[in-house]
């Protein structure tokens, strides 16, 4: 069949790379894609939020399955639109995507289903928020804008002053637009984070290999939050026992709850968890694959991803996913200045050399082909996170060494990356 992948990041390159290995696939399109994806798929310049454009393309090109990478089109209802047109699409419908679209909704589902999560107050408007804040006795506290805020809507407030300032920013100055009208004020949880991704057909769930992201921009988890500077799989903090507990206490109750609500959940469900001394608690749900977790996780998958995706929409039998015994590490290479302002258009050297190392895949994120008429076209930077250099190794140490060996061959002006991806796993 022909497959359409929507998105343009490192996650989408990893999805396209894995989908290309499926025996069900004849041709892959990606909208809009990037320079790396273009080596495996035909890129079409339709942006990921242009739902009517994507629908028209899928109808006209005999697309057998559409795979949605980012959350925005899911939240905007792309799955509903495609299904109305009789097309097969991987991901949750709009009413189920509320698990990511609204932190207040997700919190309510967790409370209703007794899912372990931090104590929180859901506050509609500044008066309710101020009242909830005045009842708080100890800091830090976490304030979350209810709606999508491009990954910037969560603020850890060290004291009351910062909390008041944050509420003013979100609810009065409206720095996130309407996304901040409602806020969730949540207890600060201390511990180690991990990402648990499961595939689900609305009734049953299959966990993917565990992984851990590195959200802060600098080594030792310092500096501001980013979309993710690296990931590895498996995450030793996710023991078999912990995974069983998350499936029993989090995943299945949420899936059952969503179904009972009339919003059955299909696709990938991503639970961001914090392993605390008081037990494992859910920080958030995402309704899509993680980035860069997907690069690390799919590097280890030995089964047909398309078949597994088809199962989530009732089009294939339940798969038995097989994983490589090796560990994987993805090191994100970013533009100078990211996560703040950065320049684009820097020529990237060394991609071929790095890709030739055994067990290394260089996933592209913000890249494109330069349009220099006279010279040979080159790959140039086109975003904040530029590459996800991903490597396998017999253990986490070997995977880390392999990934950094590949990174050392790559160069572009201003590039930066963390040198300590995987440190928590090494420490164990």
Binding site for ligand AMP (CB under 6 A): 118, 142, 144, 154, 156, 186-189, 193, 215, 272, 283-284
Distances (CA, A) of 76 to 79, 202, 403: 9, 20, 36
| 286 scored as a contact of ligand GLY (CB under 6 A) | yes
Least gap, CB of 274 to ligand AMP (angstroms): 6
**9 counts as binding ligand GLY under rule CB under 6 A:** no
**Interaction partner, residue 193 (ligand GLY, ligand AMP, none; CB < 5-8 Å by kind):** ligand AMP
- Contact yes or no for 214/156 (Cβ under 8 A): no
Choosing among ligand GLY, ligand AMP, none, which partner's interface includes residue 291 (Cβ < 5 to 8 Å by kind)? ligand GLY
Nearest to 75 by CA among 172, 15, 181, 150: 150
Q: Give the nearer residue to ligand AMP in terms of CB position, either 283 or 369.
A: 283
307 within 8 A of 316, measured Cβ to Cβ: yes
Selection from ligand GLY, ligand AMP, none that 200 binds (CB < 5 to 8 A by kind) is none
CA distances (Å), 47 to each of 5, 51, 370, 424, in order? Answer: 11, 8, 19, 37
Rounded to a whole number of angstroms, the minimum distance from the CB of residue 407 to ligand AMP is 24
Q: Does 293 bind ligand GLY (CB under 6 A)?
A: yes
Question: Which C-beta is closer to ligand AMP: that of 293 or that of 326?
Answer: 293
Report the candidate in 95, 112, 102 with the shortest Cα–Cα distance to residue 182: 102
Nearest CA among 393, 386, 390 for reference residue 403 = 390
Interface mask (CB under 6 A) for ligand GLY, residues 226-245, using x and -?
Answer: --x-----------------
CA dihedral sign, ordered 342, 344, 350, 356:
positive
Residue 201: contacted member of ligand GLY, ligand AMP, none (CB under 5 to 8 Å, by partner type): none
Q: Residue 326 binds which one of ligand GLY, ligand AMP, none, with CB within 5 to 8 A depending on kind?
A: none
Please tell me the count of residues contacting ligand GLY according to CB under 6 A: 6
Which lies closer to ligand AMP via its Cβ, residue 14 or residue 142? 142
Element (H, E) at 275: strand 267-276
* Long-range Cβ contact pairs of 160-169 (< 8 A, separation 24 or more): 160/133, 160/136, 163/133, 163/136, 163/139, 164/130, 164/133, 167/126, 167/129, 167/130, 167/133, 167/143, 168/126
3-class secondary structure, 35: coil
* Nearest CB to ligand AMP, comparing residues 153 and 267: 153
One of 201, 213, 304, 382 touching ligand GLY (CB under 6 A): 213
Q: Indicate the residue among 286 and 367 with the shorter CB distance to ligand GLY.
A: 286
Q: Taking CB within 5 to 8 Å according to partner kind, which of ligand AMP, ligand GLY, none is near residue 147?
A: none
Complex with ligand GLY: residue 118 or 292, whichever CB lies closer:
292
Q: Is 7 in the site for ligand GLY (CB under 6 A)?
A: no
Alpha carbons 279 and 283: distance in angstroms, whole number = 13
The piece of 91-99, 166-174, 289-297, 356-364 that touches ligand GLY (CB under 6 A) is 289-297
CB nearer ligand AMP, residue 29 or residue 270: 270
The two tokens of residue 356 are: 């030739």
Nearest to 288 by CA among 34, 65, 6: 6
Q: At closest approach, how far in Å is the CB of 295 from ligand AMP?
A: 18
At a CB cut-off of 8 Å and minimum separation 6, what does 302 contact?
Answer: 322, 323, 324
Token output for 106: 């997700």
- Consecutive H or E run containing 200: strand 192-200
Chain contacts with ligand GLY (rule: CB under 6 A): 213, 228, 286, 290-291, 293
């Amino acid at each position: 069949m022909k497959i359409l992948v929507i998105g343009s990041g490192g996650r989408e390159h990893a999805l396209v790379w894995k989908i290309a290995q499926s025996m069900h696939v004849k041709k892959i399109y990606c909208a809009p894609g990037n320079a790396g994806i273009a080596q495996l798929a035909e890129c079409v310049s339709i942006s990921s939020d242009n739902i009517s454009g994507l629908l028209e393309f899928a109808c006209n090109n005999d697309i057998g399955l559409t795979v949605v990478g980012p959350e925005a089109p899911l939240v905007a209802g792309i799955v509903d639109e495609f299904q109305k047109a009789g097309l097969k699409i991987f991901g949750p419908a709009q009413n189920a995507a509320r698990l990511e679209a609204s932190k207040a909704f997700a919190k309510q589902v967790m409370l209703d289903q007794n899912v372990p999560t931090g104590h929180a107050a859901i506050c509609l408007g500044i008066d309710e928020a101020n009242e909830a804040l005045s009842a708080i006795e100890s800091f830090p506290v976490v304030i979350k804008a209810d709606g999508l805020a491009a990954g910037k809507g969560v603020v850890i407030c060290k004291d009351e002053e910062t909390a008041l300032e944050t509420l003013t920013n979100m609810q009065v100055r409206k720095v996130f637009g309407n996304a901040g009208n409602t806020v969730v004020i949540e207890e600060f949880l201390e511990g180690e984070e991990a990402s648990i991704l499961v595939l689900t057909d609305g009734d049953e769930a299959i966990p993917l290999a565990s992984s851990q992201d590195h959200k802060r921009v600098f080594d030792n988890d310092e500096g501001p939050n980013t979309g993710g500077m690296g990931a590895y799989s498996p995450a030793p903090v996710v023991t078999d026992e912990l995974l069983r507990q998350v499936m029993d206490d989090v995943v299945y109750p949420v899936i059952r709850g969503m179904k009972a609500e009339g919003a059955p959940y299909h696709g990938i469900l991503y639970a961001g968890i914090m392993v605390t001394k008081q037990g494992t608690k859910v920080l958030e749900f995402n309704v899509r694959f993680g980035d860069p977790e997907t690069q690390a996780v799919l590097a280890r998958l030995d089964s047909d991803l398309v078949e597994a995706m088809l199962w989530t929409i009732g089009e294939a039998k339940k798969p038995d996913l097989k994983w490589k015994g090796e560990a994987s590490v993805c090191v994100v290479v970013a533009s100078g200045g990211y996560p703040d302002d950065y320049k684009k258009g820097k020529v990237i050297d060394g991609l071929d050399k790095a890709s030739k190392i055994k067990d290394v895949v260089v996933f592209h994120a913000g890249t494109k082909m330069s349009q220099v008429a006279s010279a040979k076209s080159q790959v140039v930077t086109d975003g904040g996170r530029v590459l996800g250099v991903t490597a396998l190794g017999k253990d986490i140490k070997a995977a880390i060494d392999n990934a950094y060996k590949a990174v050392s061959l790559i160069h572009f002006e201003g590039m930066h990356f963390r040198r300590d991806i995987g440190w928590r796993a090494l420490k164990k």
